[in-house]
């Protein structure tokens, strides 16, 4: 048994020497960690994982800003790397083709992401596509998106170059070492066991690619990824390619995507490589993958490459030949079914496990993102935080209900199917649904709720029962017509629900809002230490406050309700909030997620008091139950915790009770509200109302990358009340150079949806975070990260290639005197 490592100098063991493991060793040693050992079951430098046969196409542009930043770093890093005198990156550029109007529109949106995230790219004509790729049939093409800085990563040489550099700084790479166990003591990792000995470790990083679940099981950690095979084939020599490339030039034309048929292409000298996502999902059991030597003995090229299934390939081959008529006389020379990882949401799995301290994951990572991921994980290990926002990749982003093997399987397979689809930002996955429903679900169905899914929850976006309210008051219900894209997952009923909330009263299902119960003698001091505002007020107080990391970045925003001297209810955001709190909690503090066992209804609107007061013996007047106060009381027969807070900016309460009493609470409020014209209202109205009020959504508007001051949340920071986590960093911050800025679109009929680039004086200067039509304001509200600009500045937001004029606005946009809430 290895003793618990208490030494100061970290001893890092990395499992796997694919592109991620090698990159990580390079990044760790570059940061001054020298005790780094990389254990690899196969032979170096091509040990037989996904990297060993990756064709290495790097398309940088992605809807995720973080993934795009990872890819940009990979391009930058590999361009400067050489292995045996050859560069590890060939900047042939990238070209995506549109052959359908839907795809052509979507490429405009993609060009917007590129501008938002700082990738060079332009939309081009079919003639230009033909010029870039002479083999394609121009008559099929409506247009293309050309990205001159994309290209080919040479994955094995890049791994080798990083391996050598890390070795030069003292790292050890041991191939033909198969990891068979992870040792731990007192919840911390202590060593990695292999078939050739045990390696003590303070930090272990699993970079085992699609074997992740196997390593995870050794550590008692579930790794939410599904390995799937994906077809890749090469044609025989093509005279058209031979003419341009010759034996010394591997590729000269852009890497190419034909996403309408789930295909991509690259050159291999005079041969054409073709990858397909068109076939059925081909899941692989990572526990059944053969060891290297056994795979070779059975005539497999590598453990991760399976025999080519011709029947799956046939339709793709036809599609390839229709795009490139020159292929009509060609044949496929070799092909294989290569395995790599898919996760339920298509994002990597990064970070330290909550189950085992010192055990890190860096898995489900494409070659494209590998260097960026390695840098972020190395920063996290060495500095305690990364310079980029990683919340979309966090190992703890999934809810308990999203971690079952069945869920990971179904969603992973669906990600494979959808990998090249045109996806609307609100489009939910179809399976498995419904998974989580609130106690009001039956009533919501009766009211014609239109459900979308989030975090496994069925969430009403609007209710068809409110359709008769559309046009109820013709002056204020002029809802501008929408374009086909923004009209999806939307209805004019949303405007009626927003108006009913501002004019009467509405019930909102807030059940999916994460609730933590924090209890114990140490709870007040603990929350005071963890958050920025003063939460140690008398019981009955509710406080809006922030979780910061050590560098002063916003990890989350919370409402903290002190319900008793040693009992708090915390309204939180992602599952990572609980992990973060637990990591810092002393023994006399207990943290419990009570979301699933409880439920919540937001009762909001000018008539909220008229609705609730007759149902309770407690005094709900403004004097007796003030804004940001909490009370434990009864509504009819139902015990509730009532918080007087409102994310929609109207008078009212969040009413919490246990799940068993939820339906009764709903029915009680519904019946009492009838004479007041109560409506059930959905998340679309909710999102519109909160943006009018300027309330930020964590993870969308601001993340760990932003300080409270940049995000406009300085009001929740109390520097006058002693120390808290992140305080020291706040005092060192440079002056604010960017701001979360409210914009109003000038044209009352225009809308944007989020992630669009913003131009100031014609120059791309930032990007939209969230946006929604403000039905009270009669304008679309968009929040954007921009350099500080005075109110009134004219800017432009690019929406599907159109420059939409907008103006920097003054916050708050709605009810600046708070007369609607404080009364």
State the residues that interact with ligand THG by CB under 6 A. Answer: 513, 544, 557-559, 571-573, 628, 643, 645, 647, 654, 695, 716
Q: Considering beta carbons, is residue 15 or 638 the nearer one to ligand FAD? A: 15
Interacting residues of 658 by C-beta distance below 8 A, sequence separation 6+: 597, 598, 599, 639
Q: Is 264 a catalytic residue?
A: yes
Q: Considering beta carbons, is residue 84 or 720 the nearer one to ligand THG? A: 720
Give which of 449, 487, 492, 440 is closest to 467, Cα–Cα.
Answer: 492
From ligand FAD, ligand THG, none, interface partner of 96 (C-beta below 5 to 8 A by class): none
Min separation Cβ 98 and ligand FAD, Å: 20
Q: Considering beta carbons, is residue 309 or 658 the nearer one to ligand THG? A: 658
39 contacts ligand FAD (rule: CB under 6 A): yes
Give which of 115, 233, 88 is closest to 766, Cα–Cα.
Answer: 115
Min separation Cβ 190 and ligand FAD, Å: 18
CA–CA separation, 765 vs 795, rounded Å?
10
157 contacts ligand FAD (rule: CB under 6 A): no
54, 98, 330, 437: which one contacts ligand FAD (CB under 6 A)?
54
Q: Is 627 a catalytic residue?
A: no
Q: CA dihedral defined by 438, 444, 450, 453, rounded to 10 degrees?
A: 0
Min separation Cβ 59 and ligand FAD, Å: 8
Q: What share of the chain is helix, strand, coil (3-state, %, to 5)?
A: 30, 30, 40
Min separation Cβ 38 and ligand FAD, Å: 9
Catalytic residue among 232, 264, 277, 647: 264
Min separation Cβ 251 and ligand FAD, Å: 12
On whether the CB atoms of residues 440 and 463 are closer than 8 A, the answer is no
Q: Considering beta carbons, is residue 395 or 648 the nearer one to ligand FAD? A: 395
Q: Which residue's beta carbon is nearest to the bound ligand THG? A: 571
From ligand THG, ligand FAD, none, interface partner of 558 (C-beta below 5 to 8 A by class): ligand THG
Quickly list DSSP for 278-346.
-SPPEE--GGGPPPHHHHHHTT-SSTTEEPP-HHHHHHHHHHHHHH-GGGGG--EEEEEEEEEEE-TTS
Catalytic residue among 154, 203, 230, 279: 230
Bridge partner list, 198: 193
By DSSP bridging, strand 179-185 and strand 188-194 are: antiparallel
Min separation Cβ 568 and ligand THG, Å: 12
Catalytic residue among 557, 577, 593, 701: 557
Give which of 74, 302, 336, 313 is closest to 210, Cα–Cα.
Answer: 302
**Part of the chain binding ligand FAD (CB under 6 A), chosen from 338-346, 561-569, 688-696, 725-733:** 338-346
From ligand FAD, ligand THG, none, interface partner of 54 (C-beta below 5 to 8 A by class): ligand FAD
The site that binds ligand FAD (CB under 6 A) totals a number of residues, namely 37
From ligand FAD, ligand THG, none, interface partner of 136 (C-beta below 5 to 8 A by class): none
18 contacts ligand FAD (rule: CB under 6 A): yes
Strand intervals (E) in 7-84:
12-15, 36-39, 57-58, 82-83
Q: Considering beta carbons, is residue 497 or 798 the nearer one to ligand THG? A: 497
Other C-beta atoms closer than 10 Å to the C-beta of 454 total 13
35, 40, 392, 692: which one contacts ligand FAD (CB under 6 A)?
40
Q: Considering beta carbons, is residue 287 or 715 the nearer one to ligand THG? A: 715
**Six-digit token pair at 351?**
């970070």
**Six-digit token pair at 76?**
């930058």
Q: Quick one: how far is CA 356 from the chain centroid?
A: 23
**Max alpha carbon distance in the chain (Å)?**
87
From ligand FAD, ligand THG, none, interface partner of 344 (C-beta below 5 to 8 A by class): none
**Six-digit token pair at 416?**
């494979």
Quickly list DSSP for 394-406.
BTT-S-GGG-SHH
CA–CA separation, 27 vs 379, rounded Å?
8
On whether the CB atoms of residues 289 and 38 are closer than 8 A, the answer is no
CA–CA separation, 694 vs 33, rounded Å?
44
Exposure of 223 in the CB half-sphere (CA atoms within 13 A): 35
55, 112, 254, 742: which one contacts ligand FAD (CB under 6 A)?
55
Min separation Cβ 71 and ligand FAD, Å: 8
Min separation Cβ 191 and ligand FAD, Å: 14
Q: Considering beta carbons, is residue 313 or 340 the nearer one to ligand FAD? A: 340
42, 93, 143, 439: which one contacts ligand FAD (CB under 6 A)?
42
Q: Considering beta carbons, is residue 230 or 354 the nearer one to ligand FAD? A: 230
Interacting residues of 597 by C-beta distance below 8 A, sequence separation 6+: 658, 659
Min separation Cβ 313 and ligand THG, Å: 49
Task: Sort residue 41 into left (φ over 0), alpha (ψ -120 to 50) or beta.
Answer: alpha
Min separation Cβ 142 and ligand FAD, Å: 24
**Part of the chain binding ligand FAD (CB under 6 A), chosen from 5-13, 137-145, 205-213, 790-798:** 205-213
Q: Considering beta carbons, is residue 57 or 607 the nearer one to ligand FAD? A: 57
Q: CA dihedral defined by 142, 146, 152, 158, rounded to 10 degrees?
A: -140
366 contacts ligand FAD (rule: CB under 6 A): yes
79, 178, 387, 534: which one contacts ligand FAD (CB under 6 A)?
178
318 burial level (CB within 10 Å; 0-12, 13-18, 19+): exposed
Give which of 729, 727, 711 is closest to 719, Cα–Cα.
Answer: 727
Q: Considering beta carbons, is residue 26 or 577 the nearer one to ligand THG? A: 577
By DSSP bridging, strand 349-352 and strand 359-363 are: antiparallel
Give which of 215, 214, 204, 220 is closest to 2, Cα–Cα.
Answer: 204
Q: Considering beta carbons, is residue 339 or 651 the nearer one to ligand FAD? A: 339
**Part of the chain binding ligand FAD (CB under 6 A), chosen from 46-54, 530-538, 624-632, 640-648:** 46-54
Interacting residues of 633 by C-beta distance below 8 A, sequence separation 6+: 616, 617, 618, 639, 640, 642
From ligand FAD, ligand THG, none, interface partner of 645 (C-beta below 5 to 8 A by class): ligand THG
Min separation Cβ 770 and ligand THG, Å: 13
Restricting to residues 409-438, name those near ligand FAD by CB under 6 A.
Answer: none
Restricting to residues 732-751, name those near ligand FAD by CB under 6 A.
Answer: none
Quickly tell me which residue has 């990891």 as its tokens.
179
**Part of the chain binding ligand FAD (CB under 6 A), chosen from 335-343, 562-570, 727-735, 747-755:** 335-343
Long-range contacts of 120-128 (CB under 8 A, 24+ apart): 120/147, 120/148, 120/149, 121/61, 121/145, 121/146, 121/147, 121/148, 122/146, 123/801, 124/95
CA–CA separation, 22 vs 356, rounded Å?
23
Min separation Cβ 39 and ligand FAD, Å: 5
Q: Considering beta carbons, is residue 350 or 716 the nearer one to ligand THG? A: 716
From ligand FAD, ligand THG, none, interface partner of 275 (C-beta below 5 to 8 A by class): ligand FAD
5, 26, 28, 48: which one contacts ligand FAD (CB under 6 A)?
48
339 contacts ligand FAD (rule: CB under 6 A): yes
Min separation Cβ 121 and ligand FAD, Å: 18
98, 161, 208, 781: which one contacts ligand FAD (CB under 6 A)?
208
Query: Which residues form the interface with ligand FAD (CB under 6 A)?
Result: 15-21, 39-42, 47-51, 54-57, 178-179, 207-209, 211, 215, 230, 232, 275, 338-340, 365-368
Catalytically annotated residues = 230, 264, 557
């Amino acid at each position: 048994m290895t003793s618990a490592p208490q030494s100061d100098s970290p001893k890092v063991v990395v499992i796997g020497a694919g592109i991620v493991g090698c990159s990580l060793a390079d990044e760790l040693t570059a940061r001054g960690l020298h005790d780094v050992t990389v254990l690899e079951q196969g032979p170096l430098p091509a040990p037989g994982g996904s990297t060993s046969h990756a064709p290495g196409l790097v398309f940088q542009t992605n809807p995720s800003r973080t993934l795009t930043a990872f890819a940009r770093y990979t391009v930058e890093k590999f361009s400067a790397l050489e292995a045996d005198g050859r560069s590890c990156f060939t900047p042939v550029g990238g070209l995506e083709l549109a052959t359908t109007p839907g795809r052509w529109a979507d490429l405009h949106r993609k060009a917007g992401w590129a501008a938002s995230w700082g990738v060079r790219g332009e939309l081009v004509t079919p003639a230009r596509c033909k010029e870039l790729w002479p083999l394609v049939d121009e008559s099929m093409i409506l247009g293309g998106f050309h990205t001159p800085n994309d290209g080919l990563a040479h994955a094995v040489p890049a791994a080798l170059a990083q391996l050598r550099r890390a070795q030069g700084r003292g790292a050890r790479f041991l191939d033909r070492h198969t990891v068979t166990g992870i040792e731990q003591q007192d919840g911390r990792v202590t060593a990695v066991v292999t078939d050739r000995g045990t390696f003590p470790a303070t930090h272990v990083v699993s970079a085992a690619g699609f074997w992740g679940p196997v390593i995870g099981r050794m550590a008692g950690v579930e790794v939410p990824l599904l390995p799937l095979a994906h077809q890749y084939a090469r044609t025989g020599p093509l005279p058209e390619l031979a003419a341009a490339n010759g034996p010394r030039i591997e590729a000269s034309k852009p890497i190419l995507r034909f996403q309408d048929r789930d295909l991509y292409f690259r050159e291999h000298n005079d041969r054409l490589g073709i990858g397909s996502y068109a076939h059925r999902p081909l899941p692989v059991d990572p526990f059944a993958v053969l060891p290297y030597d056994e795979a070779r003995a059975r005539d497999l090229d590598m453990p991760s490459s399976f025999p080519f299934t011709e029947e799956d390939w046939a339709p793709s081959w036809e599609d390839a030949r229709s795009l490139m008529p020159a292929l009509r006389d060609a044949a496929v020379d070799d092909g294989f079914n290569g395995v790599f990882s898919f996760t339920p949401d298509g994002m990597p799995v990064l970070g330290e496990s909550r189950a085992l301290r010192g055990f890190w994951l860096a898995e489900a990572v494409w070659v494209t993102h590998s260097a960026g991921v390695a840098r972020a994980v190395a920063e996290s290990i060495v500095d305690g935080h990364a310079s980029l926002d990683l919340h979309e990749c966090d190992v703890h982003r999934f809810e308990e209900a999203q971690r079952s093997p069945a869920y990971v399987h179904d969603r992973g397979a669906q990600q494979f199917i959808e990998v090249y689809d045109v996806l609307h930002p609100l489009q939910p996955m179809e399976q498995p649904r419904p998974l989580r429903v609130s106690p009001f679900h039956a009533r919501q169905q009766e009211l014609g709720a239109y459900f979308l899914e989030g975090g496994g929850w069925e969430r009403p976006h609007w209710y068809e029962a409110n359709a008769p309210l559309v046009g109820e008051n013709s002056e204020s219900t002029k809802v501008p017509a929408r374009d086909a894209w923004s009209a999806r997952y939307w209805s004019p009923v949303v405007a009626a629900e927003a108006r009913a909330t501002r004019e009467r009263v509405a019930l909102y299902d807030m059940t999916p809002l994460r609730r933590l119960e924090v209890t114990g003698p140490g709870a007040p001091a603990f929350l005071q230490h963890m958050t920025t505002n003063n939460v140690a007020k008398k019981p009955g107080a509710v406080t809006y406050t922030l979780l910061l990391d050590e560098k002063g970045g916003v990890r989350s925003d919370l409402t903290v309700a002190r319900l008793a001297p040693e009992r708090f209810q915390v309204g939180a955001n992602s599952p990572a909030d609980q992990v973060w709190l637990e990591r810092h909690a002393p023994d006399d503090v207990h943290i419990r997620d009570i979301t699933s066992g409880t439920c919540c209804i937001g009762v909001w609107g000018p008539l909220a008091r008229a609705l609730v007061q007759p149902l309770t013996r407690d005094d709900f007047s403004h004097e007796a139950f003030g804004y940001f106060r909490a009370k434990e009381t009864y509504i009819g027969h139902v015990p509730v915790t009532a918080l007087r807070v409102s994310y929609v900016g109207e008078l009212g309460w969040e009413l919490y009770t246990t799940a068993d009493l939820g339906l009764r609470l709903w029915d009680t409020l519904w019946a009492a509200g009838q004479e007041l014209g109560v409506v059930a209202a959905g998340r679309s109205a909710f999102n519109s109302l909160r943006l009018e009020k300027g309330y930020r959504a964590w993870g969308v508007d601001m993340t760990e990358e932003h300080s409270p001051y940049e995000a406009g949340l300085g009001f929740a920071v109390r520097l006058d009340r002693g120390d808290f986590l992140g305080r020291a960093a706040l005092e060192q911050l440079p002056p604010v150079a960017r701001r979360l800025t409210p914009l109003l679109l000038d044209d009352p009929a225009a809308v944007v949806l989020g992630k669009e680039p913003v131009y100031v004086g014609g120059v791309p200067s930032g990007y939209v975070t969230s946006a929604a039509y403000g039905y009270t304001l009669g304008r679309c509200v968009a929040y954007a990260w921009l350099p500080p600009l005075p109110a009134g500045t004219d800017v432009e937001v690019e929406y599907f290639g159109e420059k939409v004029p907008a103006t920097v606005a003054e916050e708050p946009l709605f009810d600046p005197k708070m007369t609607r809430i404080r009364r």
